[in-house]
Amino acid sequence: MCGVVGYTGTRQASEWLLDALQTLEYRGYDSAGVQVVSPSGNLHGVKCAGRVAHLRERASVANLNGTCGIGHTRWATHGAPTDRNAHPHLDCRGRIAIVHNGIIENYQQLKRQLMMSGHTFSSDTDSEVVAHLIEDAWAGPASGNLALAVRNACDRLEGSWALAVVCADAPGTLVVTRNGSPLVVASTEDGAYVASDVMPLASVTSRVVQLQDRDVATLSPDGSIAISDRDGRVVEHPTAITIDWDASAATLGGYSDFMAKEITEQPEAIERLLSGRLGEHGIELDELTLTKAELASVRHVVIIACGTSYHAGLAAKSAIERWARVPVSVEYASEFNYDEEYIVDDNTMCVIITQSGETADTLTAARRMKGMGCNVFAITNVLGSTAARESDGTLYVQAGPEVAVASTKAYTAQMVASYLLALRLALAKGCMTREEVVKHFHDLERIPDLMREVLKRRWQDKQAVRFFRNKTSSLYLGRNVNSATAFEGALKLKEISYLHAEAYPAGEMKHGPIALIEGGFPVVVVVPADHVHDKTVSNIQECLARGAAVIAVATDGDERVAKLCSEVLWVPRCPNELIVPAVSVLHLQMLARYVARDRGYDVDKPRNLAKSVTVE
Ligand code: G6P
């Protein structure tokens, strides 16, 4: 969702800005733009609806000479995704340019006031008010001080923002600030940089500073960055974090798309996650800030997440309840935030699962949980993300950058990370001996090889694509922990192939979705060798009796399923039922990708979706 970038220094700004916007494409967007301050002290820019490649074409024939500038990828919230609504936005005189990520909630009121005092607007966005507010501040007491003008303007805003601002009358100065939306800055020998996340910065430095809410930073061409906090006090030594992703981690490296690359990277991601986690006393999870006694007293775990991370939460529920015998509730963050009567007590632990660590709904939920006195533990993939900084403890899943909008490797890594938490809780609560924990841990260690085996069988997924041709809908079924697999498989298909997919717990199908089934209707059934196998096989029979085209995800050697279903995606035998979701979902990820490609879609950048949803 909206990407903000900015640079001031010695190189041509537009070169890095365009590259950086390309790197931020994965966040999801529908238009893009850049603006630079020219050596003669004027603003020059281009912006347009569509892809960064299109912007690049326009930039190549525009005069974008200048060493200070800002850029933006926009995911429309207020105003259609058109050229005129694309950022940057300018003030009335065309001397100040801003880019914005977030939502200005009081923009209508501000816009009315600004128009009454003579400002003219050129877009339908909420963001444009910021340029005009800075214009007023610049013309008033903050004249000559861009940072102060930006701070004064922000004092009038309600909502969330990450802002980067340049002014033709302050050449070389780039001012940035944030409230609720992420922003990182970096100082280098060839200048100072800002971006919404660390990805575009990985090519220029490995040290970045995460701005805190309401910090205002002034970036100068010599690379220096002056930060003042919400009270205007100078931040003497901002804490820098080291990016542990090398820039090549976010390149295709020979793959045709990032989704293919990220699906394939799952075994190594799980190996990294598990490495060093088995210690003398069981599972090493120092990230948990709860003492053993506090862990032992946990009586209720509330998991809060969105999208794919929510599905990882469903698998986590099964593991925590089965291994640690603690009841778990899994909540959609957007629902939880408006459930005013939600009940927690002193023994409730909150776990948030968020790949990006920046999902606005999840962050709001975590803050609310903290406000209710709960210890909040974050499972995330992004180092230094807001979720990580604001939680009491953070487990980084270390899946590496995930560029494809549809999450794959972060999903399985989050799931396995939550299993580590489940084992740690089980030990603390005395539900398992250390020996039992060690045995389960060794089972987890088998996941990478089991995944590798499934990856070798991708031809099976390719073959199953024919069942989805010329279809408009499909059904995904699974039971118990594998209802999460069905939900995730259906989400993947919807996200990238735009084919409707309904997911249901298999036994619940007869209470509604069965009405959908007719001759040739595709039904994907996750039916591993587990304690509900017979029940799920009965569901397959119910589907077949109505003419469905069943694609089963089954365990090697399952003769019954082989006889019933003409198409089976085979999964090697797993040492434990709870491991099946982390292994079998790879088939469903690959199936979704093949179906999407068969339909001719870009699997990495599905329409309307954003990787990091930073607005409510
Ligand atoms: C967006 C993405 C999904 C993701 C969800 C939650 O909707 O498109 O892939 O699962 O956000 O994101 P998070 O970063 O909190 O895991």
Band (506; pLDDT cuts 50, 70, 90): very high
The pLDDT score that the predictor gives to residue 27 is 82
Q: Which of 2, 308, 396 to mutate for ligand 1's pocket (most ligand atoms within 8 Å of CB)?
A: 308
Band (613; pLDDT cuts 50, 70, 90): confident
Whose Cα sits closest to atom 1 in ligand 1?
Answer: 611
CB 192 within 8 A of CB 70: no
The pLDDT score that the predictor gives to residue 247 is 59
The pLDDT score that the predictor gives to residue 2 is 86
Residues labelled catalytic: 2, 611
Q: What is the mean pLDDT of residues 339-361?
A: 93
Q: Which of 403, 613, 614, 615 to mutate for ligand 1's pocket (most ligand atoms within 8 Å of CB)?
A: 613
Three-state SS for 227?
strand
User: How many Å apart are CA 163 and CA 407, to the nearest integer?
Assistant: 27
pLDDT at 246 over 80: no
Q: Which of 334, 491, 612, 614 to mutate for ligand 1's pocket (most ligand atoms within 8 Å of CB)?
A: 612
Token readout for 489 is: 């498989």
HEC-encoded secondary structure of 327-365: CEEEEEHHHHCCCCCCCCCCCEEEEEEECCCCCHHHHHH
Three-state SS for 50?
coil
User: How many Å apart are CA 483 and CA 565, to the nearest integer?
Assistant: 20
User: Counting atoms of ligand 1 from 1, which one is nearest the CA of 305?
Assistant: 15
Cα(331) to ligand 1 centroid in Å equals 14
**pLDDT tens profile 11-26:** 999 999 999 999 998 8
Whose Cα sits closest to atom 7 in ligand 1?
Answer: 307
CB 306 within 8 A of CB 334: yes
Cα(606) to ligand 1 centroid in Å equals 13
User: How many Å apart are CA 95 and CA 500, to the nearest integer?
Assistant: 48
User: Counting atoms of ligand 1 from 1, which one is nearest the CA of 382?
Assistant: 14
Residue owning tokens 């709960």: 374
pTM: 0.84
HSE value, Cβ hemisphere, 13 Å, CA-based, for 253:
14
Q: What is the mean pLDDT of residues 535-543?
A: 97
The pLDDT score that the predictor gives to residue 518 is 94
Query: Considering the chain, what is the average pLDDT of its residues?
Result: 94
Structure letter (DSSP) for residue 558 = -
pLDDT more than 90, % of the chain: 86
Band (248; pLDDT cuts 50, 70, 90): low
pLDDT more than 70, % of the chain: 99
pLDDT at 206 over 90: no
CB under 6 Å to ligand 1: residues? 306-309, 354-356, 359, 362, 405-407, 609-613
The pLDDT score that the predictor gives to residue 512 is 93
Q: Please, which residues have CB within 8 angstroms of residue 73's CB and are 6 or more apart in sequence?
A: 2, 3, 21, 24, 25, 27, 29, 31, 32, 52
Whose Cα sits closest to atom 4 in ligand 1?
Answer: 307
